[in-house]
């Protein structure tokens, strides 16, 4: 479970407006949540606080009962292994094949080679990229790149999947494909948090929608759409 308890986040160069203020949000295990809001609403800060990249100025971000701000720097990597992250720009390693990109995530956590041999093909199969395993990212379409990034994010079996504008660079068909995969992943028990501007996807999925404005939650709908949020 993820809890933001009265969180305020003020960056050093922000004297007046805080990036997040009096921010409260609870996400239960296994939920699928869209976080929407205009630029500067605090979406990126929310992700940074969750990943321990930034620390709350006030209040607490609590994940599975652990206050993220209290995690020692040396333990932060192990905490981050609970999360898988995908981005709008995919962030695949250009010189690595699809297989190597996914393997990279396993190597980072010093996974056993046998585990890698077992998990990576399975992951590629799940995202439908088995036949593209030896392709470089430049040889893939946008949708395929995002699916490769998804495989990399999931290969270590995270509890939470954070998707930062996952369909921002994709055509509608690819976007739907990625969303279908996210839903499938969510059904298998992974909590999915999607930060997006993609109104069509939010409307289509009919999941919980949390709307941020100027660093606070202004709306939280259990099954909402983009327009009525």
Partner 1 sequence: MRSFLYMISQGLKGIRKHLGASLFSLAIMVFTIFLFDAATAIMMNLTNFVKEAEENVGITVFFKEGMSEEEIKALGNRIGEDRRVKRMKFTSAEEAWEKYKKVYFSGNEHLAEGFANNNPLANSASYEIFLDESAPQREFVTELEQMTGIRKVNASNSVADTLNDAARLIRGITIAVLAVLVIVAVVLIGNSIAMTISMRSEEIHIMRYIGATNGFIRGPLLVEGVIIGLLGALIPLAITWFAYQPLVEHIRERYVNLANIFAFLPRARVFALIIPVSLALSLGIGLAGGVFSIKKHLKV
What residues make contact with partner 1 under the rule CB under 8 A? Answer: 51, 73-74, 77-81, 83, 85, 91, 93, 104-105, 107-110, 113, 152, 156
**Would you say the C-alpha torsion 158, 89, 75, 120 has a positive or negative sign?**
positive
Across the beta sheet with 160-164, the strand order is 83-87, 160-164, 191-195, 32-36, 208-213, 216-221
CB 182 → partner 1: shortest distance, Å? Answer: 18
135 CB-near residues (< 8 Å, 6+ apart): 97, 98
Closer of 16 and 72 to partner 1 (Cβ): 72
CB 2 → partner 1: shortest distance, Å? Answer: 17
DSSP for residue 214: T
Closer of 50 and 178 to partner 1 (Cβ): 50
CB 157 → partner 1: shortest distance, Å? Answer: 12
CB 104 → partner 1: shortest distance, Å? Answer: 8
d(CA 120, CA 127): 11
Tokens encoding 64: 């599975």
**Which residue stretches of the chain are H helix?**
43-50, 76-80, 98-108, 113-126, 142-154, 172-187, 199-205
């Amino acid at each position: 479970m993820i809890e933001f308890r009265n969180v305020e986040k003020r960056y050093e160069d922000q004297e007046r407006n805080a990036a997040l203020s009096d921010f409260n949000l609870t996400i239960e295990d296994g939920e699928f949540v869209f976080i929407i809001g205009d630029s500067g609403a605090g979406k990126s800060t929310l992700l940074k606080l969750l990943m321990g990249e930034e620390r709350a100025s006030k209040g607490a971000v609590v994940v599975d009962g652990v206050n993220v701000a209290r995690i020692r720097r040396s333990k932060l990597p192990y905490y981050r292994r609970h999360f898988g992250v995908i981005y709008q720009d995919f962030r695949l390693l250009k010189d690595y094949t699809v297989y190597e990109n996914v393997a990279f995530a396993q190597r980072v956590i010093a996974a056993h080679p046998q585990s890698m041999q077992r998990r990576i093909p399975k992951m590629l199969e799940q995202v439908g990229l088995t036949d593209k395993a030896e392709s470089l990212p430049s040889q893939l379409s946008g949708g395929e790149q995002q699916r490769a990034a998804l495989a990399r994010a999931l290969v270590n079996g995270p509890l939470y999947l954070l998707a930062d504008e996952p369909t921002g660079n994709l055509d509608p068909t690819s976007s739907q494909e990625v969303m279908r995969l996210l839903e499938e992943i969510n059904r298998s028990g992974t909590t999915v948090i999607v930060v997006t501007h993609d109104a069509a996807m939010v409307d289509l999925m009919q999941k919980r929608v949390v709307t941020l404005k100027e660093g606070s939650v202004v709306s939280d709908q259990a099954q909402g759409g983009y327009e009525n949020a």
